[in-house]
């Protein structure tokens, strides 16, 4: 996209929910504002959905599901490809809406629509791999398994990459014959509402339904609906645990959870520091205001290189350009919401109270352009001890904690000392050191001499409290099916 292009004229007063093929207001007749985090101004009003809206959406999805499941793989794939093409035609509109609604910088956000479409097309292309098995259990008979869709799937989307997750996460359930009810984040609902407009034009009525509103009402209604047996969430550990508890009170459900992380980046003494230093900044995802579950927010440095690496990280971090997310030169925008902004402030205070050394950042940037909005400087703490709060708890903001280690035993204890285990990064020139560390780190997704990247068809998910299940791979496709065993007695 031309980086000199001006923002297109956006229709910011047309947002509706998608239920049963119609773009509708809430049954409650209530609305809620979506706030621009850069200036705290209201961008648009969005329907404040209710439990009744969720019931309508589930009923519409149930009605549409048998016909959708009866389509051939080729036909469902054709629908998803048409959807991808239609979304691509509105990519520029979606980009600008997403930047305004999330606060993420336009240069980084520019790829999100394309990434979502790419994953959607990946699943549209592997439907024929949905295979059962034949097992020679007895001679002379046939024993086989087939895979069938659950029916109606509930999907809850987070605030940090709303359009990418909403697009990409439709692929597996739809391709295998499920229909869906999607709830976008209350903080960033606008792009998903546009997705609803596109789905209305391309997909049969009821195949995809989108209900906006709060987690307490809309999210809870989806989680507790007795006819939604398959649920998936990307969110915080706290939210994931609440969903498990709430769902279990109603019925047995298959739930996958991609939750938070307090992820280590380990730099061994022999690492190429000229690459490891900028990678530590990139891995923290300051470009997303640190609002990424895969951020390597704990930097573990050997005592022999600690001062050198910390100095280099602080130098780069302090030079990051914080500014208008619509400016292609900005390297970091505002925190997504007031609640998240206050959470970041709280953790900076605790870091100081617990004895960590604030190396850079830690406050609102100076200047008139930062007087309004949820602005916060990219922040680095040094001298962080493993037991303090900023070393153990996910902040989900632009705060990097730097820790020192001496022995490998101490390193292993520190790296695995948190109750989350989503990602990890290992930096060393020694392949044996790298592979040994990759085996003892208790995380589900590891980079060796790399950070942040996601790669096609590679399973993503966490250990410990970072979640259940894997996404982004063939296994995710299978996870939206139930396996049926059939015995044919000849």
Q: Is 258 a catalytic residue?
A: yes
pLDDT tens, 176-219? 999 999 999 999 999 999 999 999 999 999 999 999 999 999 99
pLDDT tens, 69-128? 999 999 999 999 999 999 999 999 999 999 999 999 999 999 999 999 999 999 999 999
Say which CATH superfamily domain 17-259+467-488 falls into: Aldehyde Dehydrogenase; Chain A, domain 1 (3.40.605.10)
Would you kindly state where each structural domain of the chain is located, as residue ranges? 17-259+467-488, 264-455
Of the chain, the percentage scoring pLDDT greater than 90 comes to 97
Band of the pLDDT at 12, cuts 50, 70, 90?
confident
Q: Of 337, 51, 334, 19, whose CA–CA distance to 186 is shortest?
A: 337
Band of the pLDDT at 2, cuts 50, 70, 90?
very low
283 φ, ψ to 5°? Answer: -65, -25
pLDDT tens, 457-481? 999 999 999 999 999 999 999 999 9
Question: What integer is the mean pLDDT of 296-307?
Answer: 98
Tokens of 79: 């629908």
Asked whether the whole model's pTM tops 0.85, one would answer: yes
Q: Is the pLDDT of residue 4 over 80?
A: no
Place of tokens 């036909």: 75
For residue 180, give Cα distances in angstroms to 35, 221, 369: 27, 14, 42
Tell me what pLDDT residue 13 has.
Answer: 74
Average pLDDT of every residue of the chain: 96
Q: Is the pLDDT of residue 290 over 60?
A: yes
Catalytic residue among 98, 258, 377, 394: 258
375 and 40 in contact (C-beta within 8 Å)? no
Tell me what pLDDT residue 288 has.
Answer: 95
Q: What is the 3-state secondary structure (H, E, C) of the chain?
A: CCCCCCCCCCCCCCCCEEECCEEECCCCCCEEEEECCCCCCEEEEEECCCHHHHHHHHHHHHHHHHHHHHCCHHHHHHHHHHHHHHHHHCHHHHHHHHHHHHCCCHHHHCCHHHHHHHHHHHHHCCHHHCCCCECCCCCCCEEEEEEEECCEEEEECCCCCHHHHHHHCCHHHHHCCCEEEEECCCCCCHHHHHHHHHHHHHCCCCCEEECCCCHHHHHHHHHHCCCCCEEEEECCHHHHHHHHHHHHCCCCCEEEEECCCCCEEEECCCCCHHHHHHHHHHHCCHHHCCCCCCCCCEEEEECCCHHHHHHHHHHHHHCCCECCCCCCCCCECCCCCHHHHHHHHHHHHHHHHCCCEEEECCCCCCCHHHCCCCCCCCEEEECCCCCCHHHHCCCCCCEEEEEEECCHHHHHHHHCCCCEECEEEEECCCHHHHHHHHHHCCCCEEEECCCCCCCCCCCECCEECCEECCECCHHHHHHCEEEEEEEECC
Question: What integer is the mean pLDDT of 235-251?
Answer: 95
Q: How far apart (Å, rounded) are the C-alpha atoms in residues 227 and 62?
A: 9
Band of the pLDDT at 384, cuts 50, 70, 90?
very high
Catalytic residue among 98, 199, 293, 394: 293
Q: Is 293 a catalytic residue?
A: yes
Tell me what pLDDT residue 11 has.
Answer: 74
Band of the pLDDT at 1, cuts 50, 70, 90?
very low
Tell me what pLDDT residue 8 has.
Answer: 76
Q: Is the pLDDT of residue 6 over 80?
A: no
Question: What integer is the mean pLDDT of 441-452?
Answer: 97
215 and 241 in contact (C-beta within 8 Å)? no
Q: 264-455 is classed in which CATH architecture?
A: 3-Layer(aba) Sandwich (3.40)
Band of the pLDDT at 23, cuts 50, 70, 90?
very high
pLDDT tens, 27-62? 999 999 999 999 999 999 999 999 999 999 999 999
Tell me what pLDDT residue 3 has.
Answer: 40
Q: Is the pLDDT of residue 7 over 90?
A: no
């Amino acid at each position: 996209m031309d980086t000199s292009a001006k923002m297109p004229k956006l229709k910011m007063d047309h947002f509706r929910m998608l239920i049963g093929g119609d773009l509708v207001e809430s049954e409650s007749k209530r609305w809620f504002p979506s706030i621009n985090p850069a200036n705290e101004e209201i961008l648009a009003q969005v329907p404040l959905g209710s439990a009744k809206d969720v019931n309508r959406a589930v009923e519409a999805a149930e009605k549409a599901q048998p016909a959708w499941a009866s389509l051939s793989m080729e036909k469902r794939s054709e629908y998803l490809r048409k959807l991808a093409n239609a979304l691509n035609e509105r990519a520029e509109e979606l980009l600008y809406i997403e930047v305004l609604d999330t606060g993420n910088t336009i240069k980084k956000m520019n790829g999100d629509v394309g990434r979502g479409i790419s994953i959607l097309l990946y699943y549209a292309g592997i439907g024929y791999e949905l295979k059962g098995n034949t097992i020679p259990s007895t001679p002379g008979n046939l024993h086989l398994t087939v895979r069938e869709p659950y029916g109606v799937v509930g999907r809850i989307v987070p605030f940090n990459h709303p359009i990418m997750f909403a697009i990409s996460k439709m692929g597996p359930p739809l391709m295998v014959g499920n229909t869906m009810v999607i709830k976008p984040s209350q903080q960033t609902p606008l792009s998903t509402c546009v997705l609803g407009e596109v789905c209305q034009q391309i997909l049969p009525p009821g195949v995809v339904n989108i209900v906006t509103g709060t987690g307490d009402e809309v999210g809870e209604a989806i989680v507790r609906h007795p006819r939604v047996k398959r649920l998936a969430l990307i969110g915080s550990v706290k939210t994931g645990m609440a969903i498990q508890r709430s769902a279990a009170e109603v019925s047995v459900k298959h739930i996958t959870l991609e939750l938070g992380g307090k992820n280590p980046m380990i730099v061994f003494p022999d690492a190429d520091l000229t690459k490891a230093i900028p990678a530590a900044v990139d891995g923290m995802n300051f470009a997303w205001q640190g609002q990424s579950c895969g951020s390597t927010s704990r930097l573990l440095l050997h005592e022999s290189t600690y001062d050198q690496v910390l100095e280099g990280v602080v130098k780069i971090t302090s030079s990051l350009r914080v500014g208008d997310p619509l400016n292609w030169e900005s390297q970091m925008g505002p925190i997504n919401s007031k609640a998240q902004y206050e959470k970041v402030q709280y953790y900076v205070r605790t870091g100081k109270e617990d004895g960590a050394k604030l190396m850079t950042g830690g406050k609102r940037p100076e200047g008139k352009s930062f007087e309004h909005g949820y602005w916060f400087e990219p922040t680095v703490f040094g001298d962080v001890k493993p037991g303090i709060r900023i070393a153990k708890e996910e902040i989900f903001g632009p705060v990097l904690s730097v820790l020192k280690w001496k022995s490998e035993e101490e390193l292993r204890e520190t790296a695995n000392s948190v109750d989350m285990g989503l990602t990890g990064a290992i930096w060393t020139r020694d392949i044996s050191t790298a592979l040994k560390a990759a085996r003892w780190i208790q995380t589900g997704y590891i980079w060796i001499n790399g950070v942040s990247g996601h790669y096609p068809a590679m399973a993503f998910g966490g250990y410990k409290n970072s979640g259940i299940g894997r996404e982004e791979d063939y296994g995710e496709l299978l996870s939206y099916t139930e396996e049926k065993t059939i015995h044919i007695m000849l």
